[in-house]
Structure 1
Amino acid sequence: MQGFSTDKLHGIHAILYALFDDKERLDRTAMRRQVQHCLGAGVHGMAALGLATEVAKLTEAERRMVMDWVAEDTAGAVPLGFTIFGASVAEQIAQVRHAESLGADWVILQPPMVGSFAAAEYIRFFGRVAEATHLPVAIQNAPAFMGRGLTAGEIADLVRQHPNIRAIKGEGAVTEIAAVIAATEGSLPVFNGRAGLEMLDNFRIGCRGLILAPDCIDYAVAAYEAFRRGDAVRAEAIYAQMLPAVVATMQGLEHLICYGKRLYAARTGEAVQDRAPAQRPNQTGIDMVARLSASLGPMQRR
């Protein structure tokens, strides 16, 4: 909505999985329940259409449909952001317009997944999309997963050139995120992801929060809240409980979608159907998910 400030963004934001039925169609009921599970866990924000949402497998119409559903189900309870996927400036602006129409609070631009270009070309691309909207804009910088990205210095140049770019969504080691925070002089919120690896160290360096898929999101919320109130011992204890699951699932993007989604399903009683092409689980992975689910227990409500 007009006037939303990214200064309000903090904490643990959910990035939703794409949940499909047995005919590989998006499952409306399962997607609604996923939002309800995340809100019940106490998340500080909701997001969709990122890498964990398998956005590249969705048609443009499906992406708009997911926006519609998540906006309806979140109903203003927490700040709402949508990742914007598209191969051209025009395609991304069209999706930004849809996000605007639904009352999204912010958007997160992914680099176009075509070709491979110099940093200056990505800076121009992001800038043209950002200038087309009144919404605060974040940049997703995930070179390890997307094969393209910007350095900390290039991100700082982008932010200086385009004041509407008001947040960064990283996917990197805490040392890399610290460099981004230093290069931008703490002038805008920086979020990390990677399923929660190095969670507490991310908070220590000044990361505003994490954007995570929902398999362990109740633990992440509890750890963040403990850290926020100054109880580092409690935060470390909670993080230690979730860390085996984080390490087990965060072995690559397709691995996360395969096993992280199944861990979420095991903890919430949902079923999992894959949309081809997909990494299929083997018995070792299925047994691993069962052990992790038993250790973590059902999804907790706050």
Structure 2
Amino acid sequence: MMDATAFHGIHGIVYALFDAGEKLDRVAMRRQVECCLASGVHGMAALGLATEVSKLTFDERVAVMEWTAEDVAGRVPLGFTIFGGSVAEQIAQVRAAEQNRADWVILQPPMVGSFGAGEYISFFGRIAEATRLPVGIQNAPAYMGRGLTADEIAELVTRYPNIRLLKGEGPATDIRGVIERTQGRVPVFNGRGGLELIDNLRAGCAGLILAPDVIDHAVRAYDAFRAGDEAEAERIYQTILPAIVFVMQSVESLICYGKRLFAARAGLTVHDRGPALRPTAFGLELVERFARELGPLGR
């Protein structure tokens, strides 16, 4: 079991890539992991919002775990987001993650009902107590409609020591508040497609978990920042910011256009699993332009 404090950097989280029949495409999924690893990512993850986890059956989620673990082959830390509406459902997926060599798991709040903070804290805690893996919590109220405050997160990690990481989805100012309230006891990762990438690092984030559309540039920006060259880190970030803003208008936009931007850079074709946001002709023009400006990925 890895020490959670060793987790850092840019972690790639995979898109769900489908074939023309709307089935998961094994070859394309392998290509995606290879592109991320070739970009120098510091970790890999799967089954988050970018992976359209709510559209996948339980067996498909397990298949994504198996494929990602096979393709990563222990070269970088591997995390799986755990989705489900009950403690039992999430624990079953944690067991699958354990069997597929996960280094950590990230628990999503149940997407059913609406409860107080105490209920969510108890929900997360019961699952965390069922595994020896380091556990992270995905706190994304803007995208998921539910979440915890900085004070509630501080209570959560105090009550359940096995909760050793946090996956936030919010402004750098909010993330800084969480880091301060938890007194730096747990590594905090942000996402949001890389928005405020450098300011997140200044706020104290251990890193970011990003879909792979601009992953290679994000890795270079992170590495420059960690080497003390903030000017270079900012320069790289400024080159990718227009593309990030384009794809991060919503989760649906990320899945529609972010996936297509990645595919255009990686030489893949996108097939949607409906229901899905469909691209407009102008949106595809923007994808083509950003792909050309950012250059090929993994080639």
Shorter-normalised TM range: over 0.9
Paired residue for 1:118? 116
| Aligned match of 2:37 | 39
**Partner residue of 1:197?**
195
Listed as ranges, the gaps of 5+ residues in structure 2 are: none
Q: Does 1:277 align with 2:269?
A: no
Contact 2:36 2:298 in 1 (8 A): no
Q: Which one of 171, 182, 185 corresponds to residue 184 of structure 1?
A: 182
Unpaired runs of 5+ in structure 1?
none
Contact 2:34 2:298 in 1 (8 A): no
Q: Return the alpha-carbon distance in structure 2 between the equivalents of residues 47 and 72 of structure 1.
A: 13
- In structure 2, what is the Cα distance between the partners aligned to 1:15 and 1:131? 25
Q: 2:221–2:232: 8 Å Cα contact kept in structure 1? A: yes
Write out per-residue CA displacement over residues 138-190 of structure 1, whole angstroms, 9 at most, x where no aligned residue. Answer: 00000000000000000000000000000000000001101100110001100
Once the 2 structures are TM-superposed, how far is the Cα of residue 300 of structure 1 from its aligned partner? 5.3
1:62 is matched with: 60
Deviations 1:1-58 (A, max 9, x none): xx31111100000010000000000000000010000000000000000000000000
Which deviations, in whole Å up to 9, do the C-alpha atoms of 1:187-231 show, x marking residues without a partner? 110000000000000000110000000000000000000000001
- Of 93, 107, 110, the residue aligned with 1:109 is 107
Distance in 2, matches of 1:270 and 1:212, equals 19
Q: How many residues align?
A: 299
Deviation at 1:261, TM superposition (A): 0.2
Paired residue for 1:94?
92
Q: Distance in 2 between matches of 1:13 and 1:236?
A: 19
Question: CA–CA distance in 2 between the matches of 1:204 and 1:93?
Answer: 35
3-state secondary structure, aligned to 2:285: helix
Over the residues paired in the alignment, what is the CA RMSD in angstroms? Answer: 0.7
Percent pairwise identity: 67
Within a 5 Å distance, the mapping from 1:254-293 to structure 2 comes to 254-293=252-291
**2:229 corresponds to:** 231
| Distance in structure 2 (CA, Å) of the matches to 1:13 and 1:210 | 6
Q: 4+ residue stretches of structure 1 with deviation over 2 A? A: none
CA distance in 1, matches of 2:38, 2:115: 42
CA distance in 2, matches of 1:6, 1:187: 10
SS, match of residue 145 in structure 1: helix
- In 2, the alpha carbon distance for the partners of 1:211 and 1:153 equals 23
Deviation per residue, 1:233-262 (Å, 9 max, x gap): 111111111111001111000001000000
